[in-house]
Structure 1
Amino acid sequence: MARIDYYFTVLSPFTYLAGLRLEEIAARHGVDIEYKPFNIAELGKHTGFVPLPQRPKAKQEYRLQELGRIAAHVGLPINLHPAHWPTNPVPASTAIISAQMAGGGDVGKLAYSLLRAEWAEEKDIAQDHVIRECLSEAGFDPGLADRDMLSAVEIYEKNTQDALNGNVFGSPSYVVDHQVFWGQDRLDYLDRHLERNG
């Protein structure tokens, strides 16, 4: 059975705007998803990623226009200037990793809940109470926020290296059959690939 390796950072508005479409596609094709949150700052040192404040003004303005257009197209609310962005991505990322290891809940819903909290609900996803709330909403024990942190951090670092090894350079990226599909706007391409190769 094919597996989608889903590389993403919880800081990405484009990842938020993917909603739960990946999960719908995977369910339709009977494909598993491996959630692999990674360190975008570390990845960027090797892939040419330019932090937002360092991008030309025209690109910064275009990004805001594009985010607004995508949000309207997919029907998701978005705050283009969230109060708690950027924040420390490690607590939310390790919570996703710990939840995936523990099982018993919906990892896709957890990742989406954290992204929605940041980009639509004005919450700081580095805060323990926010992470616990999202874990509970997705059917996980909220106590996972405090467990196996060292193991989760090690996996977070490994995910970043795996992303580099797999030619991933941005978020969200979906890797299947050694092919990278970068961006929420490539989900239709991923869907067609699975249809043809399922």
Structure 2
Amino acid sequence: IIAAIMAHWLEQIALEKDEYHKECLNVGQEISSKGANFLMCCVDGSSQSDIAFQSAMNLRKKFDHVNVFHAYIDKPDLQPASWRPKSLESKFEVELTGRIPKSLFSLTFVDRSGDTVNNVLEQVVDPVAFQPGGEGTILPARPDFIIMGHHGRKGPKERKASIGSTADRALRNLHYPCMIV
């Protein structure tokens, strides 16, 4: 009886390995046939988000699309001019225009109107929105990779091993590969 159970168990493992191998081949084929990736870079005007942007540009291959994403609340009296949405939009548009064709980049600036950056980001990249019959999203495509800084405008955390709340939540809740720089 034990030998029969072991034989059945080994057969199941072999079948699962075959299925896993087929799935890996399908994913690999899908990626290679797609050709280009959609890289989403989250910015907020902080020096760390500039590093994230440069990292996205360094990761970018010839035909990859780069999307610069910013969820903002416009408070002119409380923000430095360099953090204002129009200023950031102009900055990244100039930088991208000088480096890659217009068809290979997009800027997504969202007024978060009292909502948290985390909630807006989760809504924008919700996998359900990209499925057939989904309600859609403001992004031009589903992100293949999300790049962001390990802290934002508030600066690094007291504990060196800590990351900002948006980066932490992205790692925990977003269903996409993330690179935190």
TM-score tier after normalising by the smaller chain length? 0.3 to 0.5
Bigger proportion of residues as helix: 1
TM-score by structure 2 length? 0.33
The structure whose Rg is larger is: 2
Bigger proportion of residues as strand: 2
Structure with more relative contact order (C-alpha pairs < 8 Å, separation 6 or more): 1
TM-score by structure 1 length? 0.31
